[in-house]
Structure 1
Amino acid sequence: MIYVALVLSILAMAAIATWAHRNISPETSRLPMQWSASGTVNWRAPRLVAIAATPVLMLALMVLIFILSRNDLAERNMALLWLAFLGPPLQAVHMALVARTVENED
């Protein structure tokens, strides 16, 4: 069951990334990655890096948790389940912030 949740989570993040790549300012080569407390953009990353950062980070964390917690299956499964549920919403929020920032700059 946990593996189904992980696969669905990765697929959802891939779908969000695909949508973002096609719809969020396709002509822009660099997208915002971090904002200050006042809402200004601190730095930008190349388009592919900005869109793929969250799915790649979540996948790396899933692999790391899977490898490092082989002795305690309940702990591993709970950590993986949390990542599976948190990954897609976090990416959706990041892409929404990117879209809003790029739209307001035009």
Structure 2
Amino acid sequence: MILAIGTIIVMGALAAYANRTVAPGVAKLPMQWSLKGSVNWTAPRTIAFTFIPGLAAIIMAAILLGDQARNADIALMGGVFLACQLLHITLTQRWFNASRR
């Protein structure tokens, strides 16, 4: 349980940092890209950066409420969600840098 809470705290801090520093001045940020690299849809910046941590919190809570939650399961899920969040932040920053050219 401590591992799940720690992961959510780290993801929340990362989302807050990204909200302040990534793509400043842009109101809507990409949420999905096509295989060709074009943006399929966007979301308001607060939703864009809090979606993955929120989803992670809901899924980890559901896993913890189950009777068979193991630390290895929580660590794996936390790692996957953290990697997804970092990928989204990286792709958003690349999109912003490319759109400024």
What's the TM-score once normalised by structure 1's chain length? 0.85
**What are structure 2's unaligned runs of at least 5 residues?**
none
1:24 equivalent to 2:22? Answer yes
User: Aligned residue for 1:59?
Assistant: 57
For 1:8 and 1:65, locate their aligned partners in 2 and report how far apart those are by CA, in whole Å.
15
| Equivalent residue pairs, number | 99
Task: Please give the alpha-carbon distance, in whole angstroms, between the structure 1 residues aligned to 2:6 and 2:14.
Answer: 12
Matches within 5 A, 1:1-106: 3-67=1-65, 69-70=66-67, 72=68, 76-77=69-70, 78-106=72-100
**Aligned with 2:35: secondary structure?**
coil
Q: Which runs of 5+ in 1 are unaligned?
A: none
Structure 1 window deviating more from structure 2 (40-49 vs 85-94): it is 85-94
Structure having greater relative contact order (Cα 8 Å, sep ≥ 6)? 1
Q: Does the residue aligned with 1:37 lie in a helix, a strand or coil?
A: coil
Are the counterparts in 2 of residues 9 and 87 from structure 1 also a CA contact under 8 Å? no
Alignment root-mean-square deviation, CA: 1.3
Return structure 1 stretches of 4+ with deviation > 3 angstroms.
none
Counterpart of 1:88, as a letter, is L
Q: Secondary structure at the match of 1:32?
A: strand
Indicate the percent of aligned positions where both proteins have the same amino acid.
Answer: 29
